Chains A and B, each alone.
Chain A
Amino acid sequence: MSGLPERVRTRGRVARMTVSGPGADALVGVNGVSVRFGDMPALERVDLSVSRGEIVTVIGPNGAGKSTLLRVALGLQKPDSGTVARQPRLRIGYMPQRIAVDDTLPLTVRRFLSLGGRVAKGRRREVLDELGVSYLLDQPFQRVSGGEMQRVLLARAILRAPDLLVLDEPAQNLDVGGQSAMYELIGSLRDRLGCGVLMVSHDLHLVMAAADCVVCLNHHVCCTGHPHDVREHPEYLALFPDEEPAALGVYTHHHDHVHTTKGGVAPLPADENRTADHG
């Protein structure tokens, strides 16, 4: 990943100084936001903030309003009440869940990436190389498989040299090895780009290694904090009654190594946990 540039800091500093009040360091701040779809409350008085260099992960069951919260933070969804503050001239790299392009559009992966904006020559191949999918560059976008799609979408977000990365289920369609590799990659991207990361995930255990802050969402914020603390929180345990992640029914292979990492109830340091993920 050595090809990723150090984030130019000047702009961030200047922008930061223009923000005042509490949370002045936040790239994006969601304050007391509620969203309703008809009679259905999607979000109720939700607070969230992401600072530069911080990884914030929103977890929660299906239909908990995770994607709606991302859309609010991105400015795609107007809240019914509450406020959203973004730093002026904030550059956002957004990775949607997936993109379906009509077969009639002759679009290569290269061209798809170029739609995000101009970049230096050779830069697109470089980024795809780092993600291990540079062979896709001249392939039709519609032929890209689910796992490759995640990497191509992430590449487009990275190419914007973002202040803030917003990732909607970045590890879906990946096998377990690919999932932990993806979260590790996101961690190293944060270090290299110096950006903030806001992402949505199903599974606390897999994101543990990468997240600084976990927001457990079920329309309202159930609990928030460091992943290890959240895992012990009564509201989290109530939301995921069987704390065994295999019970989520998604990550079947995850079961094995969770038993080894979960051996002690005492939380493991992030580094050890990451090693265990590989084991």
Chain B
Amino acid sequence: MDDFLIRAALAGIGVALVSGPLGAFIVWRRMAFFGETLAHSALLGVALGLVLGTNLSLAIVAVCILFAILMVLLQRQNYLAGDTLLGILAHSSLSLGLVTVALIGTLRIDLMSLLFGDVLAVSVSDIIWIWSGGAVALAILVAIRRPLLALTVHEDLARVEGVPVAAVQFGFMLLIALVIAVALKIVGVLLITSLLIIPAAAARRVAATPEAMAVFASLFGVAAVVGGLWGSWTWDTPTGPSIVLAAMAFFLAGLVLPRRGI
């Protein structure tokens, strides 16, 4: 097996391990569109990072956090429904990112790899970034899982029972931003949400507890990465979309198989 395939698998598995549990919370909290919007804003982060000449991953995290805060603040108004607002932000930020990238004409940027990922091109330093960023994200998630679950079930009740709601919510935003920055290289801004949502949705049918669902989501994600890489290698198909399709295959298989869990 070639080196680049092993690097790709290591990178993809690193992303899948953290995107599974985080994705489970996103599914429970019905925040799929929120995640999608943040992912789109990541392209703006890339553009800003290029303009300012800073570390791209840090620029992505910073822009995602700014957008997350912006969205939370904007969702408090009653002028527009939440999903309308997200739709406006998602596509304006994506377009703004695309326009900005186009304006920086002097730099050669592979737009396709930003949009759909380029896991076969990951370097060793990318892998280190993915695994360390992923480990930090997973550690934060494990630390806040109880209060986060409590406020997922009922925010007011959690607040009355002493959960520091604002702090936990901010931690969760930070996590999503971090994981988007980590996953960008693998599946690109347009497909990141799928790696968060699909393995978690597939895990639902086999899980009896929230923890089990999070672990199964990780496992399905890892299997999707390996399966997608194998498919991409075998049939010479684009890697990011192949990984998403492999995840989709697991989800469909789960629908056909008898339901376990509760």
A residues contacting B by CB (< 8 A) are 71, 74-76, 92, 94, 96, 99, 101-102, 104-108, 111-112, 115-117, 140, 156, 160, 166
B residues contacting A by CB (< 8 A) are 27-30, 146, 149-150, 152-154, 156-161, 200-201, 204, 207-210, 212-213, 261-262
Other-chain contact of B154, A71, A75, A99, A108 (Cβ < 8 Å): A99
- Flag if B262 contacts A76 (CB, 8 Å): no
**Once the chains are docked, how many angstroms separate the CA of A183 from the CA of B261?**
37
Given contacts A111-B209, A115-B149, A115-B150, contact A106 B262 (CB under 8 A): yes
Contacts of B156 in A (CB 8 A): 71, 74, 76, 94, 96
Consensus secondary structure, chain B interface: helix
- Flag if A76 contacts B261 (CB, 8 Å): no
Chain A, residue nearest B200 (CB): A104
Query: Which of A106, A108, A156 is most buried by chain B, counting CB atoms within 10 A of its CB?
Result: A106
- Flag if A74 contacts B210 (CB, 8 Å): no
Given contacts A115-B149, A115-B150, contact A107 B210 (CB under 8 A): yes
Contacts of B161 in A (CB 8 A): 92, 94, 116-117, 160
Given contacts A94-B157, A94-B161, A116-B161, contact A108 B262 (CB under 8 A): yes
Other-chain contact of A106, B30, B152, B210 (Cβ < 8 Å): B210
**Once the chains are docked, how many angstroms separate the CA of A94 from the CA of B162?**
11
**Once the chains are docked, how many angstroms separate the CA of A102 from the CA of B213?**
14
Contacts of A94 in B (CB 8 A): 156-157, 160-161
Other-chain contact of B153, A76, A99, A117 (Cβ < 8 Å): A99
Contacts of A76 in B (CB 8 A): 156, 159-160
Chain B, residue nearest A105 (CB): B28
Given contacts A76-B160, A92-B160, A116-B161, contact A106 B209 (CB under 8 A): yes
- Flag if A112 contacts B213 (CB, 8 Å): no
Given contacts A99-B154, A99-B157, A160-B161, contact A140 B30 (CB under 8 A): no
**Once the chains are docked, how many angstroms separate the CA of A54 from the CA of B204?**
45
What are 10 residue pairs bridging A and B, where the CB atoms are less than 8 Å apart in the complex?
A94-B156, A94-B160, A105-B213, A106-B204, A106-B213, A111-B209, A115-B149, A115-B158, A116-B150, A160-B161
